[in-house]
């Protein structure tokens, strides 16, 4: 099977959930990282310069044997099935989906503030995220972990749900989002355990070493490393 994951050159959860699950399962894939120029082209034409279809003109896109599939959730499910990190049981699978969709919801909340140009409104949005929205969602996620008998989100092994949360938390924990302090995660012991246990997996370490920026001073909201532990 020929697999290609197309995304920007950054370790954002939408792509990482696919890239890392395949990497951890030792499944070969082409890790295509496009430039700003490629992005302009795909916005205009709905495809890359090599003809690869980008259905909604957004990324990530997974290309399987020449067929493009868009949308982070669907891509996570396919990569999870390929890598053995997505349950076969319908209910367990739904429990993984609900986590991925919640990461999407949190991402969308953050996006609103990222698109805000007025600095005062943006600061207020970030304060609301820090004081209310993120802790509320982190609390719901924590309740789900607490209700499971293992310390993972679903079942007793790592699923793509854990990878999505790990990657999303890493983005927050790196402190690259102005006015969202990494400390917002600190009260959530169960979430930190998922993060730290997964981050200590040797294959995750290998993946980070191979692909993450190691510029500690970077304050780019998109180009960042993530901490080993939180």
* Residue that the structure tokens 């510029």 belong to: 215
14 binds ligand GSH (CB under 6 A): yes
3-state secondary structure of 47: strand
The token pair that represents 23 in the structure block: 């990497």
174 binds ligand GSH (CB under 6 A): no
Residue-wise DSSP of 149-174 = SSSSSSTTS--HHHHHHHHHHHHHHT
Backbone angles phi, psi at 8, to 5 degrees: -80, 170
CA 103 to chain centre: 8
* Residue that the structure tokens 């120029």 belong to: 37
* Residue in 71, 130, 211, 213 binding ligand GSH, rule: CB under 6 A: 71
Name the segment binding ligand GSH (CB under 6 A); options: 16-24, 58-66, 150-158, 208-216.
58-66
Q: Which of 12, 188 has the CB closer to ligand GSH?
A: 12
Q: Which of 93, 196 has the CB closer to ligand GSH?
A: 93
* Residue in 52, 53, 58, 68 binding ligand GSH, rule: CB under 6 A: 58
Q: Which of 76, 185 has the CB closer to ligand GSH?
A: 76
Q: Which of 14, 95 has the CB closer to ligand GSH?
A: 14
């Amino acid at each position: 099977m020929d697999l290609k994951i197309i995304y920007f050159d950054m370790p954002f959860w939408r792509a990482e959930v696919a890239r890392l699950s395949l990497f951890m399962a030792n499944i070969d894939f082409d890790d295509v990282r496009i430039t700003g120029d490629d992005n302009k082209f795909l916005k205009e034409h709905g495809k890359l310069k090599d003809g690869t279809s980008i259905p909604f003109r957004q990324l990530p896109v997974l290309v399987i044997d020449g067929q493009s599939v868009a949308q982070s959730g669907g891509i996570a499910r396919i990569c999870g099935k390929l890598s053995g990190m997505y349950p076969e049981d319908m209910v367990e699978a739904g429990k993984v989906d609900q986590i991925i969709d919640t990461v999407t919801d949190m991402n969308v909340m953050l996006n609103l503030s990222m698109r805000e140009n007025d600095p005062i409104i943006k600061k207020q949005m970030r304060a609301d995220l820090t004081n209310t929205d993120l802790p509320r969602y982190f609390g719901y996620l924590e309740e789900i972990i607490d209700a499971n008998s293992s310390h993972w989100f679903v079942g007793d092994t790592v699923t793509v749900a854990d990878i999505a949360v790990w990657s999303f938390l890493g983005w927050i924990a790196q402190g690259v989002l102005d006015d969202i302090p990494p400390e917002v995660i600190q009260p959530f012991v169960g979430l930190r355990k998922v993060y730290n246990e997964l981050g200590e997996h040797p294959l995750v370490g290998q993946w980070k070493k191979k692909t993450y920026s190691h510029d500690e001073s970077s304050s780019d909201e998109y180009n960042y490393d993530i901490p080993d532990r939180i």
